[in-house]
Amino acid sequence: MPGPHPVEGSVGVSGMSTCLEGLKEAHGRPWPKELIALGPEESAQQMVLRRIQELSDSDQQDPFMLADLDMLASRHQAFCQALPQVSPFYAVKCNSSPWVLRVLAALGTGFDCASQVELEQVLGLGVAPSRIIYANPCKPASHIRYAARHGVQLLTFNSEEELTKVAQHHPGARLLLRLRTQDSQSTFPLSTKFGASLEACGHLLTSARDLGLAVVGASFHVGSNCQTPQSFTQAIADCRCVFEMGRGAGHDMSCLDIGGGFPGTEDSGPKFEEMARVISAALAQDFPEERGVKVIAEPGRFYMESVCTAAVNIIAKKAVLEPGGSQKLMYYLNDGHYGSFRLGHREPVPRVPIVVKVRGPLQPQESSPLP
């Protein structure tokens, strides 16, 4: 998911929920210029339209992105209400805009970081290292050393090679073994790249013990925008097996990380509440609360997808003749696959733009959604 283009005056909008009021006081006055407060009765959508108007009147055509910070706070609330037994560790890779991270830090989320840059960003906000998981099972040695120096202890792994690296550079780490999942129905599968098979876990757990490393639990990711909530049920059951194997190998297994995969919108696919019910049932079955296992998650899309609005301009168009003689219009935007829409080619989800400002009357063939 894209991060906002840091265009002056257009990174965040807020109608000032209580949490954001607190942040404002902590930050001092006046508001930084990249934060825009909504006017009375103004919606974030209206603000986007106003901003487009203002910028185009001043001959400013660059694309920009707005994040509705109140909506972000609501998404956090929705997550905590539906899954009160799960602590969210926001996946920074999803959108690392400083104000997004500041708001989430103020709301008390944890953070899932995938690299040293992300660790630096989150630690730089004063977030305690205990609220961070370095959740990339394939890490450069120098980034592992950085995590060790800065007290970030919770790390994931899925191979023997990674264990060797961690033993050398971060022997005090607390490790989560990342499991492969059935994620073929997800919009963005991850398990071909990351995750150990259940069969490989026994050996990895004894290798970790022999290297003097502490494995404290298991993690998985069912693939982003998961279409089958039952994937969580299976993965949680598999983690229970890993916990048993881990205890057998002498590890103190106390943390389960259920990753991301939650829907960003309610447009299509399973609803979040339904998914949360399936997850809660699986947790109650395999990790009942009285066992005292801490459960965390790494939501990204769920927090950000409906929070951000990208505003782009059509900067050129071209008529092309198709082989059968019909004419097709091609539109060129000033943001695309190399920018905010860089995941577009991996996610076969049609993006339907909302046309907000038209120069001159629309031609009939121009009124249809852009490809």
Ligand X SMILES: Cc1ncc(COP(=O)(O)O)c(C=O)c1O
Q: Give residues in contact with ligand X (CB under 6 A).
A: 91, 94, 112, 135, 190, 221, 224, 259-262, 298-302
114 with 132: CB under 8 angstroms?
Answer: no
Nearest alpha-carbon partner for 284 in 300, 295, 273, 270: 295
State both tokens at 363. Answer: 């031609």
Is 93 a residue of the active site? yes
Nearer to ligand X, 102 or 178 (CB): 178
Smallest separation (angstroms) from ligand X to the CB of 224: 3
Nearer to ligand X, 136 or 309 (CB): 136
Nearer to ligand X, 36 or 157 (CB): 157
12 with 99: CB under 8 angstroms?
Answer: yes
Could you tell me which residues come within 8 angstroms of residue 111 by beta carbon, excluding any fewer than 6 positions away? 89, 90, 92, 101, 104, 105, 118, 122, 127, 131, 132, 133
Residue nearest to ligand X (CB): 260
Nearer to ligand X, 194 or 287 (CB): 194
The DSSP bridge partners found for residue 68 are 13
Smallest separation (angstroms) from ligand X to the CB of 41: 33
- Residue 63: phi, psi to the nearest 5? -70, 160
Smallest separation (angstroms) from ligand X to the CB of 221: 5
Smallest separation (angstroms) from ligand X to the CB of 229: 13
Smallest separation (angstroms) from ligand X to the CB of 85: 18
3-state helix, strand, coil in the chain (%, to 5): 35, 20, 45
Based on C-alpha coordinates, what's the Rg of the chain? 23
- Give SS3 for 218: strand
Catalytic residue (choose from 5, 118, 139, 298):
298
What does DSSP say about strands 86-91 and 294-297: parallel, antiparallel, or unpaired? parallel
Nearer to ligand X, 298 or 335 (CB): 298
Is 221 a residue of the active site? yes
Catalytic residue (choose from 76, 169, 170, 221):
221
Nearer to ligand X, 64 or 111 (CB): 111
Nearer to ligand X, 5 or 221 (CB): 221
- Residue 243: phi, psi to the nearest 5? -60, -40
Catalytic residue (choose from 5, 76, 93, 170):
93
**Strands of the chain, DSSP E:** 12-14, 35-37, 64-68, 86-91, 110-113, 132-134, 154-157, 174-179, 214-220, 255-257, 294-297, 308-311, 314-321, 327-333
Other Cβ atoms closer than 10 A to 23: 20
In a 10 Å sphere around its CB, with 0-12 CB exposed, 13-18 middle and 19+ buried, how is residue 256 labelled?
A: buried
Smallest separation (angstroms) from ligand X to the CB of 231: 12
Smallest separation (angstroms) from ligand X to the CB of 236: 16
Single-letter amino acid code for the residue at 41: E
CA dihedral sign of residues 65, 69, 74, 78: positive
Active site residues: 93, 221, 298
